[in-house]
A and B are shown apart, each in its own frame.
Chain A
Amino acid sequence: MTKAKVRSFFMYVFLIIVSFISVFPLYWMVSAATNKSAEVISGRLIPGTYFAENLKNLLANQNVGGAFVNSVKYSVILTLVSLVVSSLAGYGFEIYHDKVKDAVMSVILLAMMVPFVATMIPLFQMFSTAGWLNTTIGFILPTISTPFLIMMFRQSARSFPHDIMEAARIDGLSEIRIFFQMFIPTMRSTYAAAMTITFMNAWNSYLWPKVIMTDATSQTMPMVVANLTQGYVTDYGMLMLAVLICTLPTAIVFFCLQNAFAEGITGAVK
């Protein structure tokens, strides 16, 4: 009995240490965003009153408002388009599957192995010829359709009851309306999971926007944060406020839809 108690005591201590390490950098970020840089350097760990001043400095230094709007625009449009295209494809692969479609699906899965740097340069060339640098279409096009999402929706379509489909067909519903009016509402949790993961990836993407967003006015939030580290002297208060603003949307998604997000990253596995 005592041995078990000792063991569970150490288990809790271990978990508390790990949790502390996980949370501390984020706490530090929030606290630094509200303090003067000099106070941050001196080790102040309590939230301060310098938030407004940091915000003023940040807005004077970088076009945060524009970048935030850009990031929201790119991420929301990408998420919506991607969900429709990928789920329609996953549905098509599963509901109407035959040997040829299954073979096409396995070729698509191979695309998961293609590292982004291997396609980045030709994509950049193609997109600059097409005049898509600094545009929303340029941002979204490479990641609208992903093997991961198609696989995830293909798996979920497997559990879509066949009887319902037959009944709908007899009622004279067209195939596309069965998809929009029956499949999407039934698979709400899969869509929530896919939405969180797609939005997070879109918001956080850095390499691709860095390649095609050559104008300062088209920049995204992560790019603005990265810009701020370029100077010789770092204003930690201002920098951490930018990091905080960049993290806020994904943190909100994380807290509101944590289970959907967990399901999203593990989604295609089941």
Chain B
Amino acid sequence: MSKPKKMTLSRKHNLTGWVFLMPGALLILLMSFVPMFRALLLSFKTGVGAAMKSCGILNYTRMFQDTVFIQSIKNTFFYLIIQVPIMLIFALILASILNNKNLKFKGLFRTMIFLPCATSLVAYAVIFRSLFANNGIINLLLVKLGILNQPYAFLTNVWSARIVIIIALLWRWTGYNMVFYLSGLQNIEYSIYEAAKIDGASAVQTFFRITVPLLKPTILLTAIMSTNGTLQLFDESVNLTDGGPANASITMSHYIYNMSFKYVPNFGYAAAMSFLILILVAILAFLQMKVGDKRD
């Protein structure tokens, strides 16, 4: 008697589960996977609106002759390769200093270093644009200190514009990653550090032999997130340097936006470029996970 009743109850629960998760799952299907698939179809078409026609792989071959797009890939990878490692190492060092039990004002330091995360991406991009402007405070300071004779146009020179973007990114995201490491370090028994100290391990040794290996999963996660975020960089490129001078600091997302909504819209070509980013994100995440696995 009780057996069939139980069966129906578990079937009812199974169904309840589907009802609960359906709105969320459907939205992800409709807002992520469906558009992604449509972008793929779109990437083989050319033209505007209803007059779009198939063009084979033309959009994909065009990409590799588009000097601005190639420049945007180079820029994005430049930001990725320079900024992400510096930021993660810096965040790791800060987190291991702040994890020190005897440190005073720990909470205050943490709050101050974490504070940049309270600003929106547009807001901090505009702040840095103003700080590094020709009449900005950085130039004023450098001239007053006698390091420069006259203000340097940070945002309109090719390399300095790129470096200002990197400085801004470091400022905004180092504290963010530090929080991940701090939370990871809390799971490591503090007695391990005390034992290492008694055994005479130096701070550098403790860092490389204990902190880094034990935090490896967190480091992997932050590396994947930062890579993902950097490949999609948009707000900073638009609001800090406006991609300039002459597209020298433009990112891939910024160029795709321009191609879709700023210039004469070319949705097909923009979709093809966005698909390349998708593939790059997937490849890099895969590689990082492989590397992460190997060191086990």
Contacts and interface: CB of A to CB of B under 8 A. Distances in A.
Contacts of A126: 35, 38
B61 interface: no
A124 B282 CA distance: 24
Interface stretch (B63-71, B158-166, B188-196, B269-277): B269-277
Contacts of A141: 27, 31
A262 B107 CA distance: 13
Interface stretch (B79-87, B117-125, B206-214): B117-125
Contact of A207 (B103, B120, B253, B282): B253
Contacts, number: 265
A21 B124 CA distance: 13
Interface residues of B, number: 89
A97 B120 contact: no
A125 interface: yes
Interface centre among A25, A91, A104 (most CB of B within 10 A): A25
Interface stretch (A52-60, A82-90, A184-192): A82-90
B2 interface: no
A115 interface: yes
Interface centre among A15, A255, A261 (most CB of B within 10 A): A15
A45 B144 CA distance: 15
Given A11-B97, A114-B36, A240 B20 contact: no
A22 B174 CA distance: 10
A92 B15 CA distance: 10
Nearest to A229: B126
B78 interface: no
A78 interface: no
A64 B23 CA distance: 35
B18 A25 contact: no
A119 B32 contact: yes
B250 interface: no
B101 to A, nearest CB: 12
Interface of B: 13-14, 16-25, 27-28, 31-36, 38-39, 42, 94, 97-98, 100, 103, 108-109, 111-124, 126-131, 133, 135, 137, 140-141, 144, 171, 175-176, 179-180, 182-183, 203, 218, 221, 228, 231-232, 234-235, 238-239, 252-253, 256-257, 260-261, 267, 270-271, 274-275, 277-278, 281-282, 285
Interface in A36-65: 41-43, 45
B263 to A, nearest CB: 14
The secondary-structure label for the interface of chain A is helix
A248 to B, nearest CB: 10
Contacts of A210: 257, 261
Contacts of A247: 118-120, 123
Given A204-B120, A246-B120, A254 B267 contact: no
A225 B121 contact: no
Contact of A250 (B34, B120, B257): B120
Nearest to A261: B117
Given A15-B97, A119-B36, A145-B27, A22 B113 contact: yes
A108 B35 contact: no
Interface in A1-53: 7, 11, 14-15, 18-19, 21-23, 25-26, 28-29, 32, 41-43, 45
Contacts of A243: 123, 126-127
A119 B29 CA distance: 12
Given A23-B112, A119-B36, 14 more contacts: A88-B23, A92-B21, A95-B17, A97-B17, A119-B32, A120-B257, A144-B27, A145-B24, A146-B28, A175-B13, A254-B115, A255-B118, A265-B179, A269-B221
Contact of B218 (A45, A113, A269): A269
B281 A225 contact: no
